[in-house]
Amino acid sequence: MLGVKEKFGVRLEKRPAPSLRVDIGISILSFVAALVACSPILSLLGYNPIDVYSEMFKDAFGGFAAIARTLTKAIPLILVSAGAALSFKAKIWNIGAQGQMIMGAIAATWVALFSPFQNGSGEQIALMLVLGILAGLAWGAICGFINEKIGVNMVITTLMFNAIAIKFLEYLLHGPWKMPAIKYPYTDPLPASSWLPVISDTTIHYPTLIAGIASVILLYLVLKRYKLGYEIRVFGENRAAAKYAGISSFKVIMIVMSISGALAGLAGVGEVAGLHHQLKMGVEGSGAVYAASYGYVALYIAWLGKCNPLGAAFASFLIAGVLIGGESLLVMGIQMAVVSVILGMALLLLMAGVYLSEYKIVRRRSVEK
Amino acid sequence: MTGLVSAKFFRRKRVLVFFTIVVLIALLITSIETGFDAGSLLSVTMISATPLILGAIGEIYAELSGVMNLGVEGMMSTGAILGVVGAVAMANPWGGIVLSIAGGGFLALAYGIVVIKYRGMQVPAGLGLFMFGLGLSGIIGTSYIGMPLPYNFPKIPIPVLADIPVIGKFLFNHDILVYITYLLVFIFWFILYKTKMGLYIRSTGEDPGAADSAGVNVFRIRYLCVILGGVLAGLAGAYLSLAWTPGWNEGMVAGRGWIVISLTIFSLWGPARAFLGALLFGGVYAGQYLLQGLGIPVRILGMLPYAVTIIALSAVYLFRKRLGAPTALGEPYKRE
């Protein structure tokens, strides 16, 4: 008998193989449960949770303009969460997307404002993209190197690199790159020739969106069909077995960290060149609360999408809606921190819910003795 | 490792003690020779180290029992705001301490249910706890931002001892929470290595199956240790908001929760070594103020604690062949 429990005339039986339908169901259930669990907090603050949630929903998905806003927000999330999904698939705990995005954004801003390559041509935009991607890639790859060759815990390494990147951004914005005219820590606006094109009447910078969707599909195929993807999956399931099978852990870690770093770097470029058109604090997220950084939000998205790039892309759109809704909360006088609470709670519940996916409910009478 | 000292030297456990004594003597000599105020520097070091020590002891217990809790930052943040709330509500700083301990413990219990009972994966669940705690503190703290706090812990110099040059300022001229921290380090060191309970805890993290068959209640031990981690993280947060800089500001924990987790590894899961390690990290925080005087930009200096963390951990990994991490760390226990 495999772990059988009986209660209320039904019993739990171990599920022999994971089921996609149940997994999706649990993902959705955990998110709804988190909304329910966070209602008392909102009530305590004196807001009607149903009003708050319906307002959030309306702002995120009600009408064309709202959906366009949500899609704009989803662009960096799709990129970053695809990288996060890839690394979590390999059980490489890369939570450094925040720092990698910042480094990408810094590199792009440098090209557009401070480099000798400001000729306002398409090549300049290409250079911004390439350097931004490389900066994110390097920032991720260093962490991978330190983790693999020295052994320092990946969570710690990537977090420390996040903090260092934030301090570096702060230094640039308060020091050499500060806009001279005003007191706030912003750079000058980027020249319009270095902006990414947008779909008219919206803020959707479509080159980044296309790149995001392309990389999601590519990663999905690589994970599913190619040798590299197989190696990554085996590495994630069982490192000892991977070593025994001759899979180089250095190769897997460096490749995974490079890819997810590059995607985060691209997301950083997109935010600067496509949306904000200047470098500022919080360029890698959507709020003052630092847990609202896309890097942290993407952690949850990756798990919500079961560490599958395609699933993560769909989840990105949903969570982008939550973030947009969260911004509308500011108007109601509630802090963005509510979003952090909801997402944190949802991640905890999702982790607890994995337990449920291991079992299936069977009616007692259908079991022959 | 070749060079001035052999690698074997670094592998000895006493190297941290030795290092601390050398630094102390060096500071003592400098202060006598040049009139440099080493006492104040060390005093700030001790104060900066206190929340790190408290958090690290809790995390050490949790990890030794086999549960890694990455949510320390969130629990500390919640502890910090609850300290302010409690102190204001009860017009007494101890009220703040009680509330923040309860809050930290409660968050840790919720985490424990997820990872111990439902065997959730610890790294993502811990990150979830971090986001939840940080957001919660932000929500609760909205109306307390920048509020001056009349209730805090004053400095209580210990008579006679506080008059020793340098050392007096370093160790014996602090608020009561720092003295309690000294006591807690000793108590938790004692429990871990000198009592049966400590043996149970360590065996639970090494081999839960064997511990279980020897009659140890693995689940109870893990719950206790995780909750203790939350309680101490809450206390550490309260120290920040009640003793160090009285009052609440968003993001005031400023990554100390992650330094705590690094310190846990750096201390090789020992409370006494965590105390010395915390002094090293605290010294970095204190040293920032010193280097600021030399004209280095504040924000570049702000990178120091994080860079030092990476370097210090790298040193530990490079110089020690075996870390001695709890074998079952991060693995949920399932009774077959």
| CATH code, B61 | 1.10.3470
- Tell me whether A282 touches chain B (CB under 8 Å): no
Residue carrying the six token digits 């210990």: B158
pLDDT the model gives residue B231: 97
Distance, C-alpha A32 to centroid of its chain: 20
Chain A residues 326-355 with a CB less than 8 Å from chain B: 335-355
Chain A neighbors of B113, CB-CB under 8 A: 352
* B207-212 mean pLDDT: 93
Q: What is the average per-residue pLDDT within B235-248? A: 92
When pLDDT is averaged across residues A352-366 and rounded to a whole number, the result is: 74
All residues of chain A having their beta carbon less than 8 Å from the beta carbon of residue B129 are 344, 348
In the beta sheet, which residues pair with residue A193?
none
- Specify if A347 maps to a domain: no
CA distance B177 to chain A (A): 28
Average pLDDT over chain B, rounded to an integer: 87
Q: Say if CB A95 and CB A367 are below 8 A apart.
A: no
Q: Range with the lowest mean pLDDT among A84-93, A354-363, B6-15, B296-305?
A: B6-15
Q: Which residues of chain B neighbour A160 with C-beta distances below 8 Å? A: 258, 262, 306-307, 309-310
Contacting residues of B for A27, CB less than 8 Å apart: none
Chain B contact present for A153, CB below 8 A: yes
Q: What single string gives the DSSP state of each residue in A262-319?
A: HHHHHHHHHIIIIIISS-BTTTTBSSSSGGGBHHHHHHHHHHHTTT-HHHHHHHHHHH
B306 neighbourhood in chain A, CB within 8 Å = 160-161, 163-164, 167
pLDDT band at B109; cut points 50, 70, 90? very high
Q: Is residue B31 part of a domain?
A: no
Segment A110-148, tens digit of pLDDT: 998 888 877 777 788 899 999 999 999 999 999 999 999
A136 falls within a domain: yes
B104 located within any domain: yes
What's the pLDDT band for B153 if we cut at 50, 70, 90? confident
C-alpha to C-alpha distances, A20 to A185, A322, A357, B126, nearest whole angstrom: 47, 24, 10, 25
Question: Smallest Cα–Cα separation from B236: which of B210, B211, B209, B263?
Answer: B263
Q: Please indicate, yes or no, if residue B245 is contained in any of the structural domains.
A: yes
**pLDDT bucket at A369, cuts 50 / 70 / 90:** very low
- The DSSP symbol for B248 reads B
CA distance B32 to B37: 9
Cβ contact B317–A150 (<8 Å) = yes
Percent of chain A's residues with pLDDT above 90: 46
Q: Rounded mean pLDDT of A221-238?
A: 93
Q: Has residue B75 got a pLDDT over 80? A: yes
Q: Flag whether B119 is in a domain.
A: yes
Cross-chain CB nearest to A152 (options B113, B133, B310): B310
Q: What is the DSSP string of B182-231?
A: HHHHHHHHHHHHHSHHHHHHHHHHH-HHHHHHTT--HHHHHHHHHHHHHH
Q: In what order do the strands lie in the sheet with A10-14?
A: A5-7, A10-14, A359-363
Which band of pLDDT confidence, cut at 50, 70 and 90, is reported for residue B205?
very high
Mean pLDDT of A180-194: 80
Tokens 């910078």, residue located: A205
- Chain A residue whose CA is closest to B126: A348
The alpha carbon dihedral of B109, B114, B117, B122 has a sign of negative
Three-state DSSP class for residue A363: strand
What pLDDT is stored for residue B17 in this prediction?
A: 72
Domain containing A262: what range?
76-306
What's residue B11's pLDDT?
52
Angle of CA points A258, A77, A266, to nearest 5°: 45
Complex confidence, ipTM: 0.89
Nearest to B276 by CA among B9, B21, B12, B8: B21
Nearest to A151 among B110, B299, B317 (CB): B317
SS3 A342: helix
pLDDT at A211 over 60: yes
Q: Is the CB of residue A57 less than 8 Å away from at least one CB of chain B?
A: no
Tokens 């398409």 correspond to what residue? A122
Q: Which residues contact A298 (CB under 8 A, 6 or more apart)?
A: A77, A80, A81, A83, A84, A97, A312, A316
pLDDT surpasses 70 at B273:
yes
Residue A250 dihedral angles phi and psi, to the nearest 5°: -60, -45
Residue-range definition of the domain harbouring residue B190: 42-319
Asked if B31 has any chain A CB less than 8 Å from its own CB, the reply is no
Two structure tokens written together for B200:
């149970």
Instruction: Pick the range with the lowest mean pLDDT from A9-23, A181-195, A281-295, B230-244.
Output: A281-295
* Residue-level pLDDT at B12: 53
Q: Work out the mean pLDDT of chain A and round it to a whole number.
A: 86
Long-range contacts of A363-369 (CB under 8 A, 24+ apart): A363/A9, A363/A10, A364/A6, A364/A9, A364/A10, A364/A11, A367/A11
What is the average pLDDT across A250-256?
95
Residue A363, beta-bridge partner list: A10
Is B322 near chain A, with CB under 8 Å?
no
pLDDT score, position B238: 95
The answer to whether residue B14 sits within a structural domain is: no
Tens of pLDDT, residues A42-83: 888 788 888 888 888 888 888 888 999 899 999 999 999 999
* Separation of alpha carbons B229 and B111, rounded Å: 11
User: Is it the case that residue B294 has pLDDT exceeding 90?
Assistant: no
pLDDT of A181 over the 90 cut: no
Task: Identify whether B30 is part of a domain.
Answer: no
Tell whether A118 is covered by a domain: yes
Structure-block tokens of residue B276 = 């010395």
Does residue B237 lie in a domain region? yes
Q: What is the pLDDT of residue A366?
A: 52
Q: What are the backbone dihedrals phi and psi of residue B196, each rounded to the nearest 5 degrees, phi first?
A: -65, -40
Residue A292: how many CB atoms within 10 A of its CB?
26
**Which of B119, B132, B306 is closest, CB to CB, to A355?**
B119
Q: Which A positions 94-133 lie with beta carbon below 8 A of chain B?
A: 95
Task: Say yes or no for a CB contact (<8 Å) between B124 and A354.
Answer: no
- Using DSSP bridges, classify how beta strands B173-175 and B155-157 pair: parallel, antiparallel or unpaired: antiparallel
B131, B137, B310 ranked by CB distance to A347: nearest: B131
Decide which of B141 and B32 is more confident: B141
Give the span between the Cα atoms of A109 and B263, in whole angstroms: 36
CB B313 to CB A153 under 8 A?
Answer: yes
Q: Which of residues 291-310 of A touch B (CB under 8 A)?
A: 291, 296, 299-300, 303
A299: nearest CA partner in chain B: B124
Give the closest of A167, A168, A347 to B127, CB-based. A347
Contacting residues of B for A95, CB less than 8 Å apart: 127
CB A191 within 8 A of CB A120: yes
Residue A217 predicted with pLDDT over 60: yes
B329 to chain A: which residues are within 8 Å by CB?
none
What sections of chain B are H helices per DSSP?
7-11, 15-34, 38-64, 72-90, 93-112, 122-141, 167-171, 176-194, 196-206, 208-213, 218-239, 256-266, 271-292, 298-301, 304-319
State the nearest Cα–Cα gap between B45 and chain A, in angstroms: 21
What pLDDT, on the 0 to 100 scale, is given for residue B203?
Answer: 94
pLDDT, residue A333, reads 67
Q: What percent of chain B has pLDDT over 70?
A: 93
- Phi-psi region at A231: left, alpha or beta (left = phi > 0; alpha = psi -120 to 50): alpha
Residue A129 in any domain: the answer is yes
Q: Please, which pLDDT band fits residue B2 given cuts at 50, 70 and 90?
A: very low
- Alpha-carbon gap: A353 to the closest alpha carbon of chain B (Å): 8
Would residue B236 count as lying in a domain? yes
Question: What would the mean pLDDT of B63-78 be, rounded to a whole number?
Answer: 95
Residue A184 has pLDDT above 90, yes or no: no
- For the ranges A30-34, B121-125, B154-158, B260-264, the lowest mean pLDDT is seen at B154-158
Residues of chain A with Cβ-Cβ distance to B314 below 8 Å are 146, 150, 152
- Residues 54-113 of chain B with CB under 8 A from chain A are 70, 74, 110-111, 113
pLDDT at A221 exceeding the cut of 70 = yes
pLDDT at B281 over 60: yes
Between these two residues, A146 and A201, which has the higher pLDDT value? Answer: A146
Q: How many domains does chain B have?
A: 1
Inter-chain CB proximity A156 and B262 less than 8 Å: yes
Task: Provide the sign of the torsion angle of the four alpha carbons B167, B168, B172, B174, taken in this order.
Answer: negative
Residue B3 pLDDT > 60: no
Q: How far is CA B333 from the centre of its chain?
A: 26
Whether residue A46 is contained in a domain is answered as no
Quote the pLDDT of residue B4: 46
Domain count, chain A: 1
Q: Which among A152, A337, A348 is the nearest to B114, CB-wise?
A: A348
For range A160-183, the mean pLDDT: 86
Average pLDDT over residues A236-249: 92
Residue among A348, A349, A357, A359 with most chain B CBs within 10 A, to mutate: A348
- pLDDT at residue B14, as a whole number: 65
The structure tokens 């259908």 sit at: A366
User: Do A266 and A129 touch, CB atoms closer than 8 A?
Assistant: yes
Q: Which helix (H) or strand (E) holds A34?
A: helix A20-44
A229 falls within a domain: yes
